[in-house]
Amino acid sequence: MAPATAHAPRPAAPRRSRTAPGLVAMVVLVLHAAYSLREHRRFGTTGYDLGIFGQAVRAYADLSLPASEIRTATAPPGFTGDAYPLLADHFHPVLAVLGPLYRLFPHVETLLLAQSGLIALSTYVVSRAAQRHLPWPGARVTIGLAYGLSWGLQQLAGFDFHEVVFAVPLLALACRAHLDGRWVAAAGWAGCLVLVKEDLGATAAVFGLLLIRRHHRRAGLALGVLAVASTALVVCVALPAWAPDGRYGYLDQPYPYGMFDGWRAKSLTLLMLLAVTAGLVVRSPLGLLLLPTLAWRLISPNPAYWGPELHYSALLMPIAFAALIDVLRRGVRLPHAAPLLVALLLLPGQPLRDLARPGFWQDGPRQVAARAALLLVPDGARVAASNSLAPHLTDRARVYLVAEGVLDRDAPVDWIVADTRDAFPPGAVEAVLRRAEGAGWRRIRAEHGIVVLRLSARTSPVPPGSTRTR
């Protein structure tokens, strides 16, 4: 074990009530759950990603490896299977823990509630850390609420469901154990990150380096070896073994941009990250844990990773707030309400703002038409659904995305349900509807842009590549 360092853990604090952190977590749970469920109800969720993860968890509930019919729409060239093996895409066995829950409550909303619960759990952990390590009684509320309403977590809730939500409480627990001086526990929680997604092994490895350098050499070394070895095994062996083409598709993506392309989006991400801690995150060693996630995002060839949108910044929030608590407990002066003020100032540009918008709670004619159209699809059907409608059918049907090639499957779909406004994949909805109707599919409903087609017994198969119209 390493000798004591200059930043030794504080002595055990007097036992304090857990009521305030619990209430903060409950408030965050209600807000995130209300938003996620309503956004799904109003068809704001999509097949990419909620539908895909719904199919994955449904497979786990049936004691099968995760696979997705929706994911076949963007499968590598040459893939001909009925469902794409998701462990060939990303390594996320942690999703299996939702299998028993989904078996009890077989609805895609179960994933949304689980995500809200995991966010609330991490909020409780961060709030308790503030309660233990900061001298101000109100810090457990202001820091906890600032974290639960932070822009990174809101963006996660605003984009369907994603496996990275499991890393959020794991990082919060690891960082809190680090703050408490429980080095072995910190290593244990950080080690679990390798079960969430293959890129999180880098974060676990950096955590191991922190422990080696400052606190507990044995625990840090064990964590570092686990992180590096498991990441190498997953990326170089496991993912290619599951992949139909025998390769890990994210390892050799071409880089069509210059290093400084997208600097506005990248700068905005960094500025918003600094804002939630008033810049203090850079003054804690825990801030080093941000580097792996920031590095792969900022040098990625995919522009979707650069900005503060989507779910990619959720991983940064527990680290940033743990670093903030670390800095404040060492005497750096900052009003403890400042992070909450920043969160509130950013709120008008974040998803949860919609909770206060009356129109968010009202169904328009298009939502009503979509709901009626979905009821026409029988349980167990093979259906091609457009992106916004797909997650509403994955619980009870075999769902494919309305995309190129969906009508050419060996085992054809017999229903098409499409929203003509859906733009992913680009141009796919109009092209598929045109092909199907040209081949004799029967249109049984078309209202407010929601179209339902059915394959009748008299309909001839759709010739591959056909563009014939009526």
> What is the DSSP track for 265-332?
HHHHHHHHHHHTTTTGGGGSGGGGGGHHHHHHHHT-S-GGGTSS-SSTTTTHHHHHHHHHHHHHHTT-
Residue with tokens 């929203």: 419
The better pLDDT of the pair 17, 383 is held by 383
Q: Is the pLDDT of residue 365 over 70?
A: yes
> Dihedral of CA 187/190/193/194: which sign?
negative
Q: How many CB atoms lie within 10 A of CB 238?
A: 17
Q: What is the pLDDT of residue 280?
A: 94
Residue 313 main-chain phi, psi, to 5 deg? -90, -5
Q: What is the pLDDT of residues 27-84, one digit of tens each?
A: 999 999 999 999 999 999 999 999 999 999 999 999 999 999 999 999 888 788 899 9
Structure tokens at 251: 């390892």
pTM: 0.92
| Average pLDDT, rounded, for the chain | 91
Q: What is the pLDDT of residue 147?
A: 98
Q: Is the pLDDT of residue 470 over 70?
A: no
Distances (CA, A) of 24 to 5, 124, 144, 233, 459: 33, 7, 6, 40, 58
Distance in angstroms (rounded) separating the CA atoms of residues 87 and 305: 21
Q: What is the pLDDT of residue 252?
A: 65
The better pLDDT of the pair 303, 3 is held by 303
What is the average pLDDT across 444-449? 96
Q: What is the pLDDT of residues 240-270, one digit of tens each?
A: 999 988 888 787 665 545 555 788 999 999 9
Q: What is the pLDDT of residue 255?
A: 52
Band (pLDDT 50/70/90 cuts) for residue 466 is: very low
Sheet holding 382-385, edge to edge: 398-401, 382-385, 415-419, 450-454, 442-447
Band (pLDDT 50/70/90 cuts) for residue 224 is: very high
Q: Is the pLDDT of residue 2 over 50?
A: no
Q: What is the pLDDT of residues 196-207, one digit of tens each?
A: 999 999 999 999
What is the average pLDDT across 224-228? 97
Q: Is the pLDDT of residue 3 over 80?
A: no
Q: What is the pLDDT of residues 269-280, one digit of tens each?
A: 999 999 999 999
Q: What is the pLDDT of residues 146-164, one digit of tens each?
A: 999 999 999 999 999 999 9
For residues 304-336, one letter each, b for 16 or more C-beta atoms within 10 angstroms of the residue's C-beta and e for the rest, the string is: ebbbbbbbbbbbbbbbbbbbbbbbbbeeeeeeb
Distances (CA, A) of 256 to 74, 170, 262, 300, 303: 20, 35, 12, 10, 11
Q: What is the pLDDT of residue 1?
A: 40
For residue 24, the number of C-alpha atoms closer than 13 Å in the C-beta half-sphere is: 28
The mean-pLDDT minimum among 53-67, 173-187, 453-467 falls in 453-467
Name the β-bridge partners of 85: 67
Please spell the DSSP secondary structure of 348-390, one letter per residue: GGSGGGGGG-GGGGS--HHHHHHHHHHHTSPTT-EEEE-TTTG
Q: Is the pLDDT of residue 460 over 80?
A: no
Band (pLDDT 50/70/90 cuts) for residue 137 is: confident
Q: What is the pLDDT of residue 76?
A: 86
